[in-house]
Amino acid sequence: MISPKELQKYNTVFGQHSFDNHEQIVFCNDKDTGLKAIIGIHNTVLGPALGGTRMMQYENEWEALNDVLRLSRAMTYKSAITGLNLGGGKAVIIGDPETQKTPELMKRFADYVHSLNGKYITAEDVGMCPDDMDIVRDVTPYVTGISESRGGAGNPSPITAYGVYMGMKAAARYQFGSDVLEGRHVFVQGVGSVGEALVEHLVDEGAKVTISDINADRLIEVRDKYHVGVFKGDEFFDQDMDIYAPCALGATINDKSIGRLKAKVIAGAANNQLAEEVKHGEMLKQRGIVYAPDFLINAGGIINVYAELEDYDRQEIMRKTENIFNTTLEILEHAHENDMTTHAAALNIAQTRIETRRRENSK
Ligand code: NAD
């Protein structure tokens, strides 16, 4: 039984802890297909709100709401800092993608996306694949991440990995005085699609790489392919390493891990790496650990899908992704000059870009 105090915390939508002046929140319900989804549109000053649709089971509907609020906000800042003319949005479909995802449910979801008239553009996220986006595309043009055979930009993970690699090199330049990673010890947590592609770049450059993954088969596969070291288990933070690259889940930078972390640089693909942005950003700063903000360096994926809207080619995608090196360096320097955390510095620059455009738009 939930206590009245707890209830107070939960029983407002606009009062949720992840609510940050979101422009619009759409609750989608369809009895026939069982669709229960929430579309969160955080900000559309720079352009239409683009962000993936995630399908998963949640403990309760509040958790789903907070997820979509948090993720859509992150998309706003990711696009803003990357210089894309996009706003931030995201959608969650509540349910098990293995057993509850049907073409009818996806079509009904697409109807809701279409009803927003392009204010929200969807894409793939956890629990979705290009085939699902193709179904959405049959109903609405407001979708990216469709299969290559239908004009999509293809798998974003190698591009994301390249952006992370660029961000990591910039952070190394800032921290160690050189962006050369040859001989540096990099610990990659999670060797899924992005993690593996990152390992390839690192091995090619001659870095010393250690990997971890909860999937033992994956761990062996990647170890044998790239001849890298492996670490089994979760207690790796006090291992010797120069760079920690979180490429699995979020919130691994937290009260427990920061004090033990031997790395001097954190640069990885996972979203929301800091369990608490302000507190843990500050703790890293105090310890002299350079944190390359996640939403900045993992933007390769969104650059890739943006190409579907702007119709630019592979070369332009790579050029924009490579530019993550320059942006990361600028942000680390901006943070140092203004005595702020790197996360706050990145947010600051993204917010300034949005504010400038807001003023221009209202002239
Ligand atoms: P993925 O699912 O392909 O890979 C994740 C890997 O992490 C899996 O191999 C999984 O077994 C492993 N893992 C899960 N929990 C772990 C743990 N506690 N310790 C070690 N390993 C663990 O996902 P991905 O597409 O490679 O994405 C990796 C991260 O980057 C995710 O957080 C994702 O949200 C983020 N991201 C991905 C993209 C993209 O283009 N794919 C873009 C931006 C951000």
User: Cα torsion for 63, 65, 70, 74, to the nearest 10°?
Assistant: 140
Residue nearest to atom 29 of ligand 1 (CA): 270
List helix spans (H) across 259-341.
277-287, 294-297, 300-310, 314-322, 324-337
**Per-residue model confidence (pLDDT) at position 26:** 98
- Of 122, 50, 117, 53, nearest to 88 by C-alpha is 50
Give the burial string for 164-202 (b: 16+ CB within 10 Å, else e). bbbbbbbbbbbbbeebebeebbbbbbbbebbbbbbbbbb
Q: Are residues 174 and 120 in the same domain?
A: no
- Write down which residue in 105, 129, 149 finishes a domain: 149
Q: Which domain holds residue 262?
A: 157-299+326-350
Q: Please give the structure tokens belonging to residue 263.
A: 């790395």
Q: Are residues 118 and 171 in the same domain?
A: no
- 38 inside domain: yes
Distance (angstroms) between ligand 1 centre and the Cα of 129 equals: 15
Number of domains in the chain: 2
- Write down which residue in 130, 149, 168 finishes a domain: 149
Task: Name the residue of 214, 244, 296, 306 whose CB sits within 8 Å of the most ligand 1 atoms, as the mutation to test its pocket.
Answer: 214
- 309 inside domain: no
Q: Give the CATH number of the domain where residue 107 resides.
A: 3.40.50.10860
**Per-residue model confidence (pLDDT) at position 2:** 61
Q: How many CB atoms within 10 Å of residue 315? A: 8
Distance (angstroms) between ligand 1 centre and the Cα of 191 equals: 7
Q: In what order do the strands lie in the sheet with 243-246?
A: 229-230, 208-212, 185-189, 243-246, 265-266, 290-291
Q: Are residues 273 and 344 in the same domain?
A: yes
Residue nearest to atom 30 of ligand 1 (CA): 270
Q: Are residues 209 and 346 in the same domain?
A: yes
Atom of ligand 1 nearest to the CA of 234: 19
List helix spans (H) across 116-215.
130-139, 157-176, 193-205
Task: Name the residue of 78, 124, 249 whose CB sits within 8 Å of the most ligand 1 atoms, as the mutation to test its pocket.
Answer: 249
Residue 7 makes CB contacts below 8 A (sequence gap 6+) with none
- 286 inside domain: yes
Q: Are residues 167 and 293 in the same domain?
A: yes
Q: Are residues 203 and 336 in the same domain?
A: yes
Distance (angstroms) between ligand 1 centre and the Cα of 107 equals: 27
The number of angstroms, rounded, from the C-alpha of 202 to the middle of its chain's C-alpha atoms is 21
- 321 inside domain: no
- 355 inside domain: no
Distance (angstroms) between ligand 1 centre and the Cα of 61 equals: 24
**Per-residue model confidence (pLDDT) at position 5:** 56
- 101 inside domain: yes
Helix axes 314-322, 324-337, angle to 10 degrees: 20
Cα–Cα distance measured from residue 292 to residue 217, given in angstroms and rounded to the nearest whole number: 30
**Per-residue model confidence (pLDDT) at position 6:** 67
Cα–Cα distance measured from residue 20 to residue 290, given in angstroms and rounded to the nearest whole number: 27
Q: Give the CATH number of the domain where residue 189 resides.
A: 3.40.50.720
- Write down which residue in 131, 149, 167 finishes a domain: 149
Q: Which residues line ligand 1 (CB under 6 A)?
A: 156-157, 160, 189-195, 212-215, 218, 247-249, 269-271, 298, 301
Cα–Cα distance measured from residue 330 to residue 352, given in angstroms and rounded to the nearest whole number: 15
- Quick check: 113 and 100 in contact, CB under 8 A? no
Task: Name the residue of 193, 196, 218, 235 whose CB sits within 8 Å of the most ligand 1 atoms, as the mutation to test its pocket.
Answer: 193
- 363 inside domain: no
Distance (angstroms) between ligand 1 centre and the Cα of 326 equals: 25
Q: Are residues 141 and 161 in the same domain?
A: no
Q: Are residues 135 and 216 in the same domain?
A: no
Q: Are residues 226 and 132 in the same domain?
A: no
Residue nearest to atom 2 of ligand 1 (CA): 192
Q: Are residues 228 and 177 in the same domain?
A: yes
Q: Are residues 161 and 263 in the same domain?
A: yes
Distance (angstroms) between ligand 1 centre and the Cα of 271 equals: 9
User: Cα torsion for 198, 203, 206, 207, to the nearest 10°?
Assistant: 50
| Residue corresponding to tokens 């996306």 | 113
Q: Are residues 131 and 168 in the same domain?
A: no
Q: Which residues are catalytic?
A: 90
- 307 inside domain: no
Split the chain (363 residues) into runs of 10 and give each run's mean pLDDT.
60 86 98 98 98 95 93 96 96 97 98 98 91 96 92 89 98 98 98 96 98 96 98 92 95 95 97 93 98 97 91 91 97 97 96 96 89
